[in-house]
Every structure is written in C-alpha cells, then in structure tokens.
Structure 1
Amino acid sequence: MPVSRRSFLKKSTFAAGFTLTIPKSVTDLFTSKKKIKLGLITDLHAEIIHDASIRLEEFLKAVSQENPAARFQLGDFATPNPKFHSLIQRFNNAPGLAFHVLGNHDQDGGYTKSEVASHYGMPASYYSLDVEGIKVLVLDGNESGSPTHRGGYPSYIGMEQQQWLIHELQKADSPVLILSHQPIAGIYSIDNSEEIQGILSEFSGKILLAINGHAHVDQFLEVGGVRYLHLNSASYYWVGENLAHQSLGSEIHDNFPALKNTCPYAEVLFSFLTIDPSKNEISLKGKKTRWVGPSPLELGYSILSKEEQLDYVNPQISNRRM
C-alpha cells in the first residue's frame, strides 16, 4: 500500500498525552447525561493470524465484563469463506448488539461487497444507526472511481456516498460518531481524504469523533475541528515480503504462510470507548502487549521514520481521556 508520508505530515495536527472535552455544541445535542460505552476491535485478519478465534474470545470475554451498549468490528475481520463462518457467527451471536464495518481484505478471494455484507449481517456497505442516542455513521472506504488510484485495493468514498453522508449529517439532531475502516486523516488515508475531511469539518459541531482501523497504528489527530482516532489492529503490524521472518514455530508458519510478513502482537488488542456527557469527555480504555519476535524497527522497516514508529507503531492501544 503506498504511503503519502509527506502529505500525512503536512495535513495532520498531532496530539498525545492530552485531555480533550466534548465541544459544547456536541454536548448540547445529548438528550441524556448517562454514560455510553462501546466495545471496539479491528483488523483481526482471521486469514493471516494463527489464533484468531482465541483473540476473538478474549475480546468477547471483556465485552461480557464491560457490558457496552454495542460492539463494533472495524473491518478486515474475516472473509465469507466457510471456514470463517463460525467466527463471524460467534461475534454476531454473543450477547449484546453487534455491528460491522467493511474492510478491504474482507473481500479477498473474489467475494463481492454484497456477499460480505450478507455474511456479516450488514444492511449495506455503508449505513447509519442509533446507539443510546448517538447517531453512528458507518462508511465504506472501498469504493472505486478514484482519479488518483495507483493500484492495489480501492481506497475512496464516491460521490453517491458523499451525498448520503452530507444528508445524514444535515438531518442529525444527536451527537454523531463516524466509523470507517480506511482512515479519513493520517497514515494510509483514503485517496480523497481532503474532500471527506472538508465535509466532516463543515459539521464538526455535531461530530464526537471519527474512528478507523486499517493502518495498524496507535494514533490520535485533529484536522479541521474533527478528532480522528486510529484504532490499532487486534493482531499484528504488516512489514511485507522484503522483511519476511519467522517469529513463531515452523508448523504455524507452514499453516499460515502470510504470517511471516507480519510482526505479531503477543495478545489481542481492543478497546472500550466511554462517552460521558455529564463530564463533557470521552475516554478510551485500551490495552498494551508486546511484540512476538523483532519489532518493525528492529527489522529495518523504513516506510515510516524511526520517530513515527516509536510514536505510533507499537503493540498497544493507548488509554486516552478526550
């Protein structure tokens, strides 16, 4: 996947070690002051990681303890291949509300969007829903038609979906949470990121947060009055074939050949987002683990600088109070 690092640095305002309150314009849209908790996991990659079912069970165990209003997986979970049916059903059928975001790898193997949506139980590739008085807009960053597409997976939000997004934001009379697989800002952002950022910035007075997966990094940034949270992968960081190595036993690598192109996380990563209108704040309860084998930096990974890797490429989802 090509990285527009110069563009990434130019367009982004970084924040770390901060406390950020919910803007008053957003707080005023709440009809209740009770806390709302959401469970979040992304980029499990059941087709690559060897212990996907164990990682999912750890997340669902935490969900049963935290009791969120809903749980979301933000894409690259599992394809509709029959060998993953039980995994998808396990996520869907555990107690509580469960929702999906469409990832680029969920269509691997030639599956169509409609096939993936059907197996996941999604109403469409992009859709809206209400969770405890919060309007959640689930976007599809996998659309074709980008005039700057350079090969690989599509990473674009087309005009029809843009018009839908504008309409949903215009009519929203409650706080809005944006969910997407591909980032709208920051590392690996979609081809027309500035265009979508402009739409969201126009309605920043309604938007709590925009959350994405895909980049497998731990990062928070603000662009045009909208806060963007990159949620780290549940499983690994991808380093590619040039840095292929064995971090686990030979039998595991034989059965999961793409695993050699990753730096796996020892334990699953996931988080719980709590929105507290009474305190005007959002907090993220994350998780930290360790690398299995060498880190990308130790392998000589160079797509991102050393400083960027130290800041964002780590086996963790940071605890944050926003």
Structure 2
Amino acid sequence: MTHPLPLFRFGIVADPQYAAREPHAGMDRYYENSPAKLKAAIEVFNAEDLSFVITLGDIIDRDFASFDAILPVYEALKHDNLFLLGNHDFAVAPEHLEDVAARLGMPAPYYSLAKHGWRFIVLDGNEVSTFAPPVGHPNREIAAEKLAELRAAGAINAEAWNAMISDRQFDWLRAEIADAAERGERVIVMNHYPVYPPNQHDCWDRERIIALLAESPNVMAYFNGHNHVGNYGVVEGCHFVNFKGMVDTESENTFAIVDLYGDRIEIRGFGREESRVLALRS
C-alpha cells in the first residue's frame, strides 16, 4: 500500500534571469517580468510545508546590480532558500566575479546538505569556464583548451556559454556519493547544466558525470536548468530532469514542487513545468 503522504517536499525554480533590459522577442525572454513570476511562485511555496526552495542558477541575466532587484523578492519566502550558480550569474564586471556566491549567501560555490535520509549535492558547473574564474586563473586556460577540443570534435555542446566542473570537484562529488551510500542516504545531484539526454546546453564533461551517477545505485536523480525548454531522460534508473526557464514567455510562469516518497519522486509542475512520477531505483 502506497503511503499517502510524502517523506518531505521542496520547491524548484530555474532561470529567473532578471535584468532591467528590453525583452528578447526572438528567444521569448522577458527579463523584467521574472520578479512578478517569482513572487507568484513564492506565494504557492509558502502555502506548502517545504524543507527548502532551490533556484537552479541564472538568478540574473547580467550586471551585478541586478541581484539588488531580484534577491529581495526571495525575502518573502518562509522556507530555507538555496541557490546554485549559473553562467549568467557571472555576466558581471571582472571585479565582482569572486563575489557572486557570497552575494547569494551560499556556504560555498559547491556544497551538500543532508535531510530526512536524503543527500542533496549541489555542483558549481561554472568552475572551469571562459567566464566565471577570475581573469588570469588557470581554469580559464583549461576551459579554452577543452572548448577548442570539443569544437574540433564537432561536439554539439561545444559552446562558450557551457562549462564544466574541475577534477577536484568531480573527486568531491564521487566522495560525497560514496559517503552518502555508507550512511544509507539516497542522493539527488543538482547543477545548472544538463548532462542527459544529449543537447547543445550540456556541460563539457557530461560523459563522466553520467557514468558516475549511472554506476551509483544510491543516486536517484539529477536536476538542472540552463536549457530553458526543459528535457528528461533516464540512465540505469537515474532520472535526469531539466526544469524549464522562468524568464521565458511574457506571462506564463514555470516552477515545481518535488514530493519525495519511499518508492518514487513526484514532481508537481506549475505553469509550463511538466508533472512527472519517477520510480526510485532499488
């Protein structure tokens, strides 16, 4: 018999991408409408008993001052408020590149938290990129080399607005998954960038992340944003869910509440977001 109540639940927002700029009609992005959409989402979140709400990156579209307009909207949220970093969050002046995580109140650029027998592993997918590291940082050079390599190979994700995690962060991810397994915790990994199904928005090191998650039976899902139209796939029982971007469309909203049960994950989509029931691997 299925238990009628979830173990716990949390909220998801992807890509508000606020900026004080004109809409991009061709991409159907309405940057200045995101605070109102976010406010509406928070009203729904506040009516539910949530463990936390996490925004999957791209809180802003550009300019460090944009944080001053969008972050106060979150102050109405009654639940713990978590962030991860997206590529647009680094579309700021060079002197602010090292201030972004702190401006968002994050404990670190990547981190994990354990709740109710689950572990949430939050990645910084921008660590090796041509835009997020401080100017002169070796990760910029590594990123340029990786991007050139992918372009030479004709990879669909060979885009300068993608990025990847460092080897050090990948080792940390592997250790977090192993530690969670030892403690009997199920895992959800979260990142700004998708990895599956193959798409032009995928992070550059998608293959090693897919392989690690597929071979780790305690990893149940990988949640991301970045690709605003959304996506879904499954590999070896691990679900890959790409949530849709809030900044898209003039008036339609998109966000989700995730209910975790002993045998499944239920995603309740609001607005343009799709609802899904995902069976947990045993």
Report the TM range for the smaller structure's normalisation.
0.7 to 0.9
- Calculate percent identity across the aligned residue pairs: 24
Report 1:1-322 matches (<5 A): 34-47=6-19, 49-78=31-60, 81-92=64-75, 94-110=77-93, 112-144=96-128, 145-146=142-143, 147-150=145-148, 152-172=160-180, 173=183, 174-186=185-197, 187=199, 188-203=201-216, 205-236=217-248, 264-277=249-262, 280-288=263-271, 316-322=272-278
- SS of alignment partner, residue 233 of structure 1: coil
Query: How far has the Cα of 1:52 moved from its partner?
Result: 2.0
Whole-Å separation in 2 of the counterparts to 1:130 and 1:136:
6
Shift of 1:80: 6.7
Question: Secondary structure of the residue that 1:129 maps to in structure 2?
Answer: strand
Equivalent residue of 1:181, what SS? Answer: coil
Change (3 A) 1:139 1:92: farther
Q: Is 1:128–1:137's contact at 8 Å kept on the other side of the alignment?
A: yes
Distance apart, 1:34 and its partner CA: 5.0
Secondary structure of the 2:147 match is coil
Q: Counterpart of 1:118 in structure 2: which amino acid?
A: A
| Structure 2 length-normalised TM | 0.77
Query: What value does the CA root-mean-square deviation take over the aligned residues?
Result: 2.0
- The answer to whether the Cα contact below 8 Å between 1:197 and 1:224 also exists between their aligned partners in 2 is no
Residue of structure 2 equivalent to 1:6: none
Which consecutive residues of structure 1, in runs of 5 or more, have no partner in the other structure? 1-32, 237-263, 289-315
TM-score by length of 1: 0.68
Is this contact kept in 1: 2:33–2:250, CA < 8 A?
no
The 1:281/1:190 distance shift into structure 2, 3 A limit, reads same
Q: CA deviation at 1:46?
A: 0.3
CA distance in 1, matches of 2:202, 2:58: 16
Q: What SS does structure 1 have at the residue aligned with 2:174?
A: helix
SS in 2 for 1:91: helix
The structure-2 alpha-carbon separation of the partners of 1:83 and 1:182, relative to structure 1 and needing over 3 Å to count, comes to: closer
Tell me whether 128-137 or 161-170 shows the greater mean CA deviation: 128-137
- Alignment size in residue pairs: 233
Alpha-carbon contact 1:177-1:207 (below 8 Å) kept: yes
> How far did 1:196 drift?
1.2
Kept in 1, the 8 Å contact 2:18–2:66? The answer is no
Deviation, 1:182, is 0.6
Alpha-carbon spacing, 1:107–1:214, altered in 2? closer, same or farther (3 Å): same
Corresponding residue SS for 2:252: coil
Q: C-alpha displacement at 1:94, in angstroms?
A: 2.3
Alpha-carbon deviations, 1:227-267, whole Å to 9, x = none? 1001000121xxxxxxxxxxxxxxxxxxxxxxxxxxx2422
Equivalent residues of 1:69, 1:132 under 8 A apart = no
Structure 1 residue 268: Cα displacement = 1.7
Shift of 1:207: 1.1
Q: Decide whether the 8 Å contact of 1:80 with 1:116 is kept in 2.
A: no
Q: For structure 2, which runs of at least 5 residues remain unmatched after alignment?
A: 22-30, 129-141, 149-158
CA offset at residue 318 of structure 1?
A: 0.9
- Determine the structure 1 residue equivalent to 2:28: none
After TM superposition, give the deviation of residue 274 of structure 1 in Å. 0.5
